[in-house]
Amino acid sequence: MIKLVSVKKSYKTGAEHTEVLKDVSIDIDKGKYVSITGPSGSGKSTLLHLIGD
């Protein structure tokens, strides 16, 4: 089972602060398949990296 509740992720580069994920919640039951879709730069890979940690 994978469960994320109100996850946020941001990056700071110099004075610039970029929010990548804002209040993301997901609940995936064991044995289920899901697809994460969205445009380039929407945070899909960042979300997968957080799940993998």
**Each residue's pLDDT tens digit, 18-52:** 999 999 999 999 999 999 999 998 899 999 999 99
Record the pTM.
0.78
Task: Give the model's pLDDT for residue 38.
Answer: 95
Confidence of residue 53 (pLDDT cuts 50, 70, 90): confident
Distance, CA of 46 to CA of 29 (rounded, Å): 21
3-state class percentages of the chain: helix first, strand second, coil last, to nearest 5? 15, 45, 35
Q: How many domains does the chain have?
A: 1
What three-state secondary structure class fits 47?
A: helix
Name the residue range of residue 46's domain.
2-52
